[in-house]
Structure 1
Amino acid sequence: MPVTHRTALRFIPVIAAVALLATACATPAGGTASPAPTESAATRSPEPTPSATPSPIETQATNEEIGLPSSCDDIFTGELRATLEAELPPLNDPGVTMYSTENAEALTVLESGVPSLRCTWGTPSDRGVATTVSIVSPADAKLITDSLTSSGFAAEEASGGEYFRTSQQTLSMDEQVVELGETHFFRGNAWIATRWVNYSPDSYTPGIVAQLWP
């Protein structure tokens, strides 16, 4: 398999849904109604006022959601940025055309126009990384995760979200061993999709996650 990069990365975020529970009081039917005791205005307890404080569920969902980063400089910082600049420069070489995923359902979502930011590292060669950060709906997130699961991706809960990973080895046209794979991360309303060839540091996606959810 050729090791040249195909590009068309995009990003898809996952929007967390919040369930609001409403309760209603029902008046029992039947029987003879007896007069209710009366209270003076002075002794009557004041009516409770609704609290404006969001519920823990609402707060958690809001804290998990993020806005789409404005540039790749917003997701690669600190030690991760220094490592990538030393080991796999440059950032966003226009010649790198690798997609951030080859999963059909994931590509369909990326190409549907969801808000996305695409970033790459490396040059058109046998090493490179392509990442897309996207904001996605719960329905799109489920479509992607179901497809990744059925395609054999390994799933793991970590970093406050869920990772899906796969990797393999193949031979290039000149019979050189090529290692390649994908890592996907879902949290809140965001989806981080990464495809890599011959370069996959363990700190890569966790470093992006730490930057987006400090």
Structure 2
Amino acid sequence: MTSRALTRSAPAALILTVALLAGCAPEPGSGPATSSPEQTAPAATATPTPLETRSVQAGGLPPAASGSVGSTTVIPRDCAGILGPAARTALANVPLNDPAFGEAGSLPDGSLRCVWADPGADTAKIVTTIAHAAENPVIDFMNELTAIGFTCYEPDAGVRCEKTWENERYPVTDGRTLYFRDGVLIDTQFSHLAPEGFTNGVIGSVWPAGAATPVAP
């Protein structure tokens, strides 16, 4: 597999590059159903939610959401509205944003957190967070993910990183997909629940074809 340099934006004349692997890995829905997404606690102040616990395989928490990021993209405020037709059908009977999984929906920092999961199920969970984030920290974070097996590439005017792995406790697959474009990071972690075309549907809802700036819900 070859590497590909991605240029980070930087002040003055300082231009730095980081290597991202070129290629493609399964996204939610493009491969077998996957299992519970877990995260390594990165920063000392970050507190993982019940579905975003610690895991070496999943990598750490992404850069914090920032309302000061310059972006022309409007973050949606409705979790049901970010799904494509196929994912909407697949998740029709899965509880959305059950209180057992913590704060969800449109959050005070301007981000959107969506949780499809049954509190009584051990697996079958998918969590997506859409938030504004600064480019350089995100690119640095994605570069770190390549070191633990994520495949990163540049489709649809953005940067995408993804990985799947076997769950350590159950005979299912876990996975995580991240997509960054125009100061917005879409971070999805999933466990044994991977509707076909899930991530592409979310991308299409945030950046509709032919529209530079999505209409706010």
1:13–1:186 contact (8 Å) kept in structure 2: no
- 1:137-152 equivalences under 5 Å are 137-152=134-149
Q: 1:74 deviation in Å?
A: 3.4
1:82-104 CA-partner distances (Å, limit 9, x unpaired): 22114xx111122236xxxxxxx
Give structure 1 stretches of 5+ with no counterpart.
18-61, 98-112
1:108-139 CA-partner distances (Å, limit 9, x unpaired): xxxxx964211011212211101100101122
Q: Larger radius of gyration, structure 1 or 2? A: 1
Question: Which residue number corresponds to residue 193 of structure 2?
Answer: 199
- 1:106-125 equivalences under 5 Å are 115-124=110-119, 125=121
Find the aligned partners of 2:142 and 2:67 in 1 and give their Cα distance: 11
Q: 1:75 deviation in Å?
A: 1.4
The reply on whether 1:82 has 2:89 as its aligned counterpart is yes
Secondary structure of the residue that 2:113 maps to in structure 1? strand
TM-score (norm 1): 0.58
The reply on whether 1:71 has 2:65 as its aligned counterpart is no
Find the aligned partners of 1:147 and 1:135 in 2 and give their Cα distance: 20
| Residues 13, 182 of structure 1: alpha-carbon distance in 2 compared, 3 angstrom cutoff | farther
Question: Which residue number corresponds to residue 96 of structure 1?
Answer: 101
| Residues 187, 7 of structure 1: alpha-carbon distance in 2 compared, 3 angstrom cutoff | same
1:161-205 CA-partner distances (Å, limit 9, x unpaired): 121011111342xxx413101010111111000110111234101
TM-score (norm 2): 0.57
RMSD across aligned positions (CA)? 3.5
Q: 1:15 deviation in Å?
A: 9.4
Percentage identity across aligned positions? 25
Q: Which has the higher helix share?
A: 1
Find the aligned partners of 2:196 and 2:156 in 1 and give their Cα distance: 13
Question: Which residue number corresponds to residue 7 of structure 1?
Answer: 51
List, as ranges, runs of 4+ consecutive aligned residues in structure 1 with deviation greater than 4 Å. 2-5, 8-17
Give structure 2 stretches of 5+ with no counterpart.
1-34, 39-49, 53-60, 103-107, 209-217
1:38-92 CA-partner distances (Å, limit 9, x unpaired): xxxxxxxxxxxxxxxxxxxxxxxx7xx3122223133135443222114xx1111
| Residues 15, 153 of structure 1: alpha-carbon distance in 2 compared, 3 angstrom cutoff | farther
